[in-house]
Amino acid sequence: MDFAINKAKKKEWIEVLEEVENDIWGEGYQTTTRRIRQGNVPYKLAKAKVKEIARALFPVGDTDIRKEGTVVGTPPFDEAERMEAVTKISLSKALGPDASTPKATKILVKGASVL
């Protein structure tokens, strides 16, 4: 029975790693970092393999690590998310990079939602 449990755990771990490969910041990433932080990695890697992985994840210099043809974009905000963000803007904050006041930003965003 222990063999079956370990086999199932290993299979699930491989699926999590595949999910991380497909969606780097998704649930798989969170699961992976949580398990690594807790020290519950299901298998041990040789130091050379760890260094190889670290070099691949954190290249030195100006390297584009995306696969060719990959489109990186930010999903659009929906109206509820935009309004939630606007309500969290504090009026006592400093000017933004465009020199607009927080109050002006709130007015503009609320006005844009009417359009």
100-115 pLDDT, tens per residue? 777 777 777 776 655 4
53 vs 70 pLDDT, higher one = 53
Mean pLDDT over each residue of the chain, to the nearest integer: 75
Band of the pLDDT at 74, cuts 50, 70, 90?
Answer: low
Q: Which residue has the tokens 């503009």?
A: 108
- The C-alpha angle 28, 17, 6, rounded to 5 degrees, equals 105
Long-range contacts of 107-115 (CB under 8 A, 24+ apart): 109/82, 109/83, 109/85, 110/83, 110/86, 113/79, 113/82, 113/83
Q: Which band of pLDDT confidence, cut at 50, 70 and 90, is reported for residue 69?
A: low
Residues 42-55 have a mean pLDDT of: 74
What is the pTM assigned to this prediction?
Answer: 0.30
Q: Which residues, 6 or more positions from 19, have their beta carbon under 8 angstroms from its beta carbon?
A: 26, 27, 28
Note the residue count of the chain: 115
Q: What percent of the chain clears pLDDT 90, i.e. is strictly above it?
A: 1
